[in-house]
Amino acid sequence: MTNPLRSLIDTGTKLYLDSVAPDEVDKNLAWGAVGATSNPAIISAIVEHGGLDPEIESLIANGLDDESVAWRLTDKLVSDAEQKFAPIHAATQGNAGWVSFELDPLLEDPAMGLSEEERTARYIELGKHYAADHLNRMIKVPATPAGIAALEELAAAGVTLNVTLIFTADQYDQARAAVWRGAQRRSNLTDFKSVYSIFISRIDVYTEQAIPDLQLEAQGLVGILNAKRVWQANQEFWNGKGLPLQQELIFASTGTKKPTDPAWKYVAALAGSDIQTNPPETNEAIATSSIEFGRTVDVMPTREIQHEIDTKVDMQVMHEVLMKQGVEKFVKPQRALLSLIAKKRSELSKS
């Protein structure tokens, strides 16, 4: 039987993996994945597994501190994944085969005491540094005020961007406008590529908790409707620009949070276009199922459901709550990774 992930790809979806763990990359490549992404939580899980202990020991022996060790490991894991996806990048002339590298989340940590201008300057500096000499690496920048302020300069410098932590259309509009301004400062747009990661399942967690009086039929569809509207806006903006490469949405946060939901709830609801970055367990669940996907990305909820959502969901309030939570979830995994490196340092020093 054909792997159900193949039917998803056949709808027009580009399948990406939300991991750079080498074994997961290999497995998902075989299933048809054409890209991947990384973040500190992913790197922590790989480090905790123990497979990188020799590299950690070597880096420590060379005098690197915990933060430097963490970024060297991240750089290596992403680089290794880039090599595996490089043939896809070449075959698609840059439309796929990308691996995303997330910039330092601690820039958004209030405890660091950085001004917004200082954060922006660091995003620009780090983005240029980690993009240099990488043909198929995307730089992940969060759609925070400081992150958005860095996008124009990064795009102008030729950095391929994945704008992440997007919850609302306003964030997307600001990010896309900044990226496009920067792109237009380039000498040519031959290799201009950008993607915008819209988060989905976290929105439905929010509405269940904050808007319990939302009709049952609408509950669980807010993230999907929001993503489809942003997808439509993205299609409308880039159509007619005549660019060689596609400027796409990434449907992110596609793992379900409710045990009663099928693992492929969001995957099935957004099939048919652009990119889905799915957790390994989501792709695994699909691969071992018998589901067959069809194009749904442009199939909207009923007008009644849309009206219910538009009437009861205050998007500005939702944005403020989810961004506060999002920044916390952005920062904590990096702190956890540094703590894990420190723990590994202690363990290895005793062995």
Q: How many whole angstroms separate alpha carbon 139 and alpha carbon 122?
A: 13
Chain-centroid distance of CA 287 in Å reads 21
Q: Binning pLDDT at 50, 70 and 90, where does residue 26 land?
A: very high
Q: With 80 as the cut, is the pLDDT of residue 351 above it? A: no
Q: Which of 45-54, 178-187, 334-343 has the least mean pLDDT?
A: 45-54
| Closest residue by Cα to residue 311 from 222, 230, 227 | 222
pLDDT of residue 48: 86
How far is the C-alpha of 74 from the C-alpha of 20, rounded, in Å?
A: 9
Neighbour-count burial for 200-217, b at 16+ CB within 10 Å, e otherwise? bbbbbbbbeeebeebeee
Residue 276 CA to residue 255 CA, distance in Å, equals 11
Query: How many of the other CB atoms lie within 10 Å of CB of 173?
Result: 16
Per cent of the chain over pLDDT 70 is 99
Q: Are strands 14-17 and 194-199 parallel, antiparallel or unpaired?
A: unpaired
Q: What whole-number distance in Å separates Cα of residue 293 and Cα of residue 307?
A: 27
Element (H, E) at 15: strand 14-17
Predicted confidence band of residue 1 (pLDDT cuts 50, 70, 90): low
| Predicted pLDDT of residue 131 | 98
pLDDT digits (tens, 9 = 90+) for 87-142: 999 999 999 999 999 999 999 999 999 999 999 999 999 999 999 999 999 999 99
Is residue 21 predicted with pLDDT exceeding 90?
yes
Q: Is the pLDDT of residue 345 over 80?
A: yes
Q: Is the pLDDT of residue 50 over 90?
A: no
pLDDT tens, 151-210?
A: 999 999 999 999 999 999 999 999 999 999 999 999 999 999 999 999 999 999 999 999
280-to-33, 105, 254 alpha-carbon distances in Å: 11, 22, 11
Domain boundaries, the chain: 4-350
Residues 8 and 92: their CA atoms lie apart, in Å, by: 19
Interior angle at CA 98, CA 194 and CA 79, nearest 5: 130
What is the pLDDT averaged over residues 212-223?
96
223 touches 266 (CB < 8 A)? yes
Per-residue pLDDT, averaged over 209-232, amounts to: 97
Residue 48 CA to residue 223 CA, distance in Å, equals 32
Locus of tokens 């980690």: 130
For residue 55, give both structure tokens: 């590299």
Residue of 100, 108, 93, 105 lying closest to 138 (CA atoms): 100
Give the Cα separation of 237 and 229 in Å (integer).
12
The number of residues in the chain equals 351
- In the prediction, which pLDDT does 9 show? 98
The confidence band for 350, taking pLDDT boundaries of 50, 70 and 90, is confident
Here the tokens at position 240 are 């007619």
Residue 349: its pLDDT value, please?
Answer: 75
The SS3 call for residue 76 is: helix
Distance in angstroms (rounded) separating the CA atoms of residues 261 and 259: 6
Evaluate whether 252 touches 274 at the Cβ level (below 8 Å). no
Closest CA to 4 of 264, 231, 228: 264
Average pLDDT, stretch 25-43? Answer: 96
Query: At residue 309, does pLDDT exceed 70?
Result: yes
4-350 maps to CATH 3.40.50.300: no
What is the DSSP code string of 115-157? -HHHHHHHHHHHHHHHHTT-TTEEEEEESSHHHHHHHHHHHHT
